Structure 1
């Protein structure tokens, strides 16, 4: 991944600070909320491989319609913790694999249950499908965890157990999706040997880990899903850090989209 020059980094930091100041006002907050102020516009020429991630929040998905929205991959929520299974996963997994998209499944990590039982939940739910993307572990705070972060060593013990179990079963190193706060608390200084999917929805990720995927929007609107409630009308958008050829090589994928370059 090409690094930003020092001058560009300084400029981005200044723009981020300006956006924060604007967001502190009613008008500025409205502009940011409605997307009229947006600092992260990943170049399509630099990041040609794009995708979405979905869960039950998007409701019923017409994958033929969604897959036609200039995207190449999709990650689908499968499980959470040691017992929860997303109610739409099985249908989404089947239907998405009938499109040209590269498809993967993700697991929402629980700070409150053992890594091994979380792995068992995911493995029981997600088939080991040929040409699928590697599993993703979604490591982010929920509830009051941001205010009271669980102890690092205990979290890493369960996270590492989950990583090992998924890698052993699927033969692929899991990807870790994370925010800057969780990266700093649990990964920085002792990064697992996993690709990182980094959430940065207000500006390019100039701080934090080297990333493989970047979630740059959480409020997009695309045709192809039900969105029965206001929060379900939004969908997350992501980019891969390199070219289409690099994407195929990194994840040992067979080319399904010969027209994509």
Structure 2
């Protein structure tokens, strides 16, 4: 079962794309990963670390159980702008296993306005410098080029025109990504935060891969996106 409690017409195309995924953290509680796989989910991104001193308490459980269920999975780190990037890189490497079967890691970059302890906002050049440190460290640790996750505001203020050699995972819950992000190719599309997936008790973020099933098999084989994806209109 794949559904959306509050579907938006602007993202209808995402539901029809052939390779579907979710992203999760401890907020989803206990997950029955076998049921998740049986529902039609092909991949999952699992929150691992945040800043330089927080580990998602469900990370290792989800990491191991998703793999056991046969679901391709990758780890993501949530960037804090008030901590040195070198500290965050060390924290990520300390807590994320080196696993050749994993998807490329993801660096989640957005402003930390929700945080009571780190609501900091940086100038563009300073933010880019921190991101570069993290991306280099994550690639050295995993052996795979990291993917960048972001939202429209942060992309517009910091990332537009930057990091052309990295794949992007874009949040857009009311329109196709190309309507929100200027001149940006993308690999993954987070299209709702109110998804429903068998095996997850409550709402969960749902995502689509920008390519065909054949493209996805190449991702799994090569361990990278490798610029093989096609347009959002793909539906084979």
Shift of 1:36: 6.0
Is the counterpart of residue 42 in structure 1 residue 8 in structure 2?
no
- Higher alpha-carbon Rg: 1
**What residue ranges of structure 1 are gaps of 5+ in the alignment?**
1-32, 227-232, 255-260
Q: Which secondary structure does the structure 2 equivalent of 1:166 belong to? A: helix
TM-score, normalisation: structure 1: 0.76
Is the counterpart of residue 73 in structure 1 residue 25 in structure 2?
no
Deviation readout 1:75-108 (Å, 9 max, x if unpaired): 1000000110000001111111101211101110
Distance 1:76 1:68 in 2: 18
**What residue ranges of structure 2 are gaps of 5+ in the alignment?**
225-235
The two structures, once aligned, show a CA RMSD in angstroms of 2.2
Q: Identify the match of residue 136 of structure 2 among 138, 160, 164.
A: 164
Is the counterpart of residue 64 in structure 1 residue 34 in structure 2?
yes
Shift of 1:207: 3.1
**Other-structure match for 1:210:** 185
Is the counterpart of residue 89 in structure 1 residue 59 in structure 2?
yes
Closer, same or farther: CA 171–223 of 1 in aligned 2, 3 Å: same
Closer, same or farther: CA 144–87 of 1 in aligned 2, 3 Å: closer
Asked whether the equivalents of residues 111 and 120 of structure 2 are also in contact (C-alpha less than 8 Å), the reply is no
**Other-structure match for 1:124:** 94
| Higher RCO (CA < 8 A, seq sep 6+) | 2
Where in structure 2 are the equivalents of 1:111-260 lying within 5 Å?
111-143=81-113, 149-205=121-177, 206-208=179-181, 209-226=184-201, 233-250=202-219, 252-253=222-223
